Amino acid sequence: MSWHASVVTLFPEMFPGPLGQSLAGRALRDGRWSIDAFDLRSFATDKHRTVDDTPFGGGAGMVMRPDVVDAALAAAIAAGQASDRGAPPGAERESAAPRLRPALYLSPRGRVLDQAMVRDLVAGPGVVLLCGRYEGVDQRVIEARGLTEVSIGDYVLSGGEPAAMVLLDACVRLLPGVMGAAESGEEESFSNGLLEYPHYTRPAEWQGRAVPPVLLSGHHAEVARWRQAEAERITRERRPDLWARHIETAGQGRVPSA
């Protein structure tokens, strides 16, 4: 069974889009993940294929209808389950009890996506993603379907589609076999709660700027110490929020060097 994403959207032609390129695109062609896009408009029931209406209580903009969104989500959830049944026996990555795909609604009101959430999603069988447009989605379908609202940051996009792509890209690269050893995510930003240390390659001097000498020394332990100290310094300077969390959790283990 491959990790499966079902995306509900008014713009199904946007997918896989950039996810069909580069690392995610190769993984898609290799069958390490799969994606289906569901056209919300095809779940409309009237002859004008209406998906939205004016908000009760007045105000600007349009709200996506709960009945149309619900029908599209039902199809998206069923498609994910069908993709599981097509899997060979024993192909389930999670042991005895298979996990359900979480249904997420991309929205600036949601919990802000972080690497811990990404890791959790990757450990499951995939995701169902609802991309909103207009002023949003009728609150009742969010509640009825138990949708988890997820934001990709404190800014407003014109729709959830780019946010869905961001979430999927972050997930797909962590799937087994997607990143080679060279691209391994073990030392990257957030993997240990810190931002990553700086990188250098040839030439050893460029425009009068030298590479930090310790990196040319061949002393692996010193290099590791320097990288750890730089990761801590950069995190402290740029992200006091991450640094504070790092300090809190360091009590149980290694003591930060700064």
Q: Give 49 or 111: the residue with its C-beta nearer to ligand ADE.
A: 111
Alpha-carbon span 236 to 187, nearest angstrom: 18
105 marked ligand binding residue: no
The Cα-based distances of 161 to 17, 136, 157 in angstroms read: 10, 13, 9
Q: Is 251 annotated as a binding residue?
A: no
**Rounded least distance, CB 107 to ligand ADE, Å:** 5
Residue 152 annotated as binding site = yes
Residue 6 to residue 14: CA distance in whole angstroms? 13
Q: Is 19 annotated as a binding residue?
A: no
State how far the Cα of 19 lies from the Cα of 2, in Å rounded to an integer.
16
Q: Is 86 in the site for ligand ADE (CB under 6 A)?
A: no
- Select 40 or 163, whichever has its Cβ closest to ligand ADE: 163
* Of 65, 107, 142, 194, the one binding ligand ADE by CB under 6 A: 107
Distance of alpha carbon 152 from alpha carbon 104, whole angstroms: 12
- CA proximity to 109, closest of 127, 128, 136: 136
Minimum gap (Å) between residue 88 Cβ and ligand ADE: 35
Q: Least distance (Å) from ligand ADE to the CB of residue 15?
A: 15
> Which of 76, 106, 170, 231 contacts ligand ADE by CB under 6 A?
106
**Residue 204 half-sphere exposure toward CB, CA atoms < 13 A:** 6
Which tokens go with 162? Answer: 């780019």
Angle CA 165–12–98, to nearest 5: 65
Task: Identify the residue among 61, 153, 212, 240 touching ligand ADE (CB under 6 A).
Answer: 153
Q: What are phi and psi of 9, to 5 degrees?
A: -155, 155
User: Which of the ranges 30-38, 152-160, 173-181, 183-191 carries the binding residues for ligand ADE, by CB under 6 A?
Assistant: 152-160
Which residue in the set 64, 152, 194, 195 belongs to the binding site for ligand ADE (CB under 6 A)? 152
Q: How far is the CB of 193 from ligand ADE (least distance, A)?
A: 23
Q: Which residues are at the interface with ligand ADE (CB under 6 A)?
A: 106-108, 151-153, 155-157, 160, 163
